[in-house]
Structure 1
Amino acid sequence: MTTVITYSRTQSVTYVADNILKSLKDIIRLSGMDPTNFVNDTEINMRGIKAWLESEDLQKITLEIYDPATNGLILRWDIDVNYSWSAGDGNFWTDTDQLRWAIRKAGVAPASAKYDLLLRTKPGRPDVPGWYRTTARSTDGMVRQSLGSTIEHNGLGATAAYWRQAS
């Protein structure tokens, strides 16, 4: 008996988008911040991530944790998108243990901290309702800590990293 499982590009996009949003919510929550605003924006966030994953215009998802008094970056999480679509056995996974370990290592955000979600896209990408152009906060004086592969579905994947203050 032979069994064949086929995954479509749409299933891969949905799986990766869902797990990116879940990972970001975990980062917010486990960093000691209130995820209410993030959860309230789930539809807009999902719309942008899925549309730009599907068009292969999404390059990076960034969660900036900042001090609202100074607008200075406290901590930053990056999820870089990798497009190497593959046919085959339907390989898919999300490394939540790796992410939880990194969140503990990065530490809890100050009680006053706020966060913003930014999506870096390729030039000429289509517009998506609810999203607008902005500039990321500076990472001067910070060090990037790479976590490696975090999410994978048939070659559509994501690697995670966080930025912390240099010692």
Structure 2
Amino acid sequence: MTTVSVNTYTHSVTYVADNMLKSLKDIIRLSGLDPTNFIEDWDINMRGIKRWLETEDLQRVDLEIYDPKTDSLLFRWDMDVVYGWSSGDGNFWVDTEQLRYAIRKAGLVPSQAKYRLLVRTKPGRPDVDGWSKATARSTSGFTRQSLGTTIDHSGLGANTSYWRQAG
């Protein structure tokens, strides 16, 4: 029985990690940005997110969209990880329509904008090749808009929100 739970949890981790990255790629693309760099880093991003989901050290994945001339934040998308996993019903889904609606509401970003992926992990988490420490840009002057749960696999999932300039 333990083997079934481990395999099911591994499947949940893979499903959630894959759909987090697919959702972030959609945010990049639908915001008017070129997803090429994101796609090129897919394996590195997947390796880190999967590993830290497996160890339950991943707390949040952030997509910063910023102006490279001023280095200032334009938007930020957050995916807060929820560890409510159970081996029970095997329920899984991704709310792509809610994400698409929020992306349209947030609007297109300036064509010169750049983006980067950041993760927040617990202290003492295992290192993953290709990942290094970074500091997030400030959200001062921004308002957070929550979308609620957008990805779920048997209780392991992500709550998504985005930051937009206040006012």
Instruction: Tell me the TM-score range normalised by the shorter chain.
Output: over 0.9
2:10 corresponds to: 10
Unaligned runs of 5+ in 2: none
Structure 1's consecutive aligned runs of 4 or more residues displaced over 3 angstroms after TM superposition are: none
For 1:93 and 1:112, how far apart are their aligned partners in 2? 34
Contact 2:9–2:87 (8 Å) recurs in 1: no
| Partner amino acid, structure 2, of 1:69 | K
Deviation at 1:85, TM superposition (A): 1.3
1:159 corresponds to: 159
Deviation at 1:157, TM superposition (A): 0.8
| Partner amino acid, structure 2, of 1:65 | I
For 1:81 and 1:140, how far apart are their aligned partners in 2? 23
For 2:157 and 2:29, how far apart are their aligned partners in 1? 23
User: Any idea what SS the aligned residue of 1:8 has?
Assistant: helix
For 2:73 and 2:8, how far apart are their aligned partners in 1? 38
Structure with greater helix share of residues: 2
Deviation at 1:89, TM superposition (A): 1.6
| Partner amino acid, structure 2, of 1:161 | S
1:122 corresponds to: 122
TM-score by length of 1: 0.96
> How far does the alpha carbon of each residue in 1:72-112 deviate from its partner, in whole angstroms, 9 at most, with x for none?
00000000000011121200000000000000000001000
Deviation at 1:71, TM superposition (A): 0.4
Equivalenced residues, count? 163
* Percent of residue pairs identical: 70
Unaligned runs of 5+ in 1: none
For 1:89 and 1:61, how far apart are their aligned partners in 2? 26
1:93 corresponds to: 93
User: Any idea what SS the aligned residue of 2:88 has?
Assistant: coil
User: Any idea what SS the aligned residue of 1:9 has?
Assistant: helix
For 1:54 and 1:84, how far apart are their aligned partners in 2? 13
User: Any idea what SS the aligned residue of 1:12 has?
Assistant: helix
1:143 corresponds to: 143
| Partner amino acid, structure 2, of 1:104 | R
For 1:36 and 1:43, how far apart are their aligned partners in 2? 13
For 1:116 and 1:89, how far apart are their aligned partners in 2? 35
For 1:87 and 1:119, how far apart are their aligned partners in 2? 26
TM-score by length of 2: 0.96
Deviation at 1:40, TM superposition (A): 0.2
Deviation at 1:138, TM superposition (A): 0.2
Contact 2:8–2:87 (8 Å) recurs in 1: no
